[in-house]
Amino acid sequence: MNADAQLIEHMMNPKNYGEMKENDAVGMGKNPQNGEKVAIYLKVEPSQDPLIKDISFQAIGCTTTVVAGSIITSEAKGVTFSRAEELISITLGMLENIPPEDAACSEMVALALKAALDTYTKRQTSPDFPMISYKIQTDCTPKEEKES
């Protein structure tokens, strides 16, 4: 990751970090390769296209994951579920263009958000539906390590 000024700000002061005890849904993104994970918590305003009133995340992972969590949750705060789905698609669509170790972190956060949205949606018809967890597909081994 190139550490430009904006990214440094997210490292120094990650936005929306921490557990949200009173949430409407939680979703998990996992990296089965190394055990890293991201949890995303949502507070939702119900409607036909529900609104993400508040969002937070926690991570067992590297600094890149925390930066990705900080950026993606900032983008998702205050938007509707349909806009959040677009945000997830855009993020997942960009993964090929970034180094694999960074791509894996962004994918993990995007999938945690997707899992949280899906958990909320499922709970509208089955209130006891368990938290959804998605596994990433990206291999996070840096290119130079694969070649060596």
Partner 1 sequence: MKTLFKDVHEAWLAMQFTGFMSQTKNRQDLYEFANILFKHLTWLENDFIKNKIAYDYSINQVPIRVTHLHVMIHNIIQRLETIESGLSSCHDQDVTFRIKSDIEYIKASLAKMPDENVEHAFDTKREYPNVSLSDEARDALTLFLFEESYKEYELIMVYNYSKAHSNDAFLNRIFQILIDESFFHLRSFGQMMAEMGILGVPRSIMEEIYKFDDLKQFLKDGIQEEIGAKEECKRLAQAVSDSSEHFAAFFTFINNQENYHIALMEEALAYVNQKGS
Per-residue DSSP letters for 38-78?
EEEEEEEE-SSS-EEEEEEEEEES-HHHHHHHHHHHHHHTT
Residue ranges in contact with partner 1 by CB under 8 A: 1-3, 5, 8-9, 11-14, 17-19, 39, 58-60, 62-63, 66
Q: Please, which residue, 50 or 100, has the CB nearer to partner 1?
A: 100
Report residue 12 as tokens. 């120094």
| Shortest spacing between CB 31 and partner 1, in angstroms | 15
| Shortest spacing between CB 122 and partner 1, in angstroms | 24
| Shortest spacing between CB 4 and partner 1, in angstroms | 9
Bridge pairing between strands 25-30 and 132-135? parallel
Residue 1, SS3 per DSSP: coil
Q: Please, which residue, 19 or 86, has the CB nearer to partner 1?
A: 19
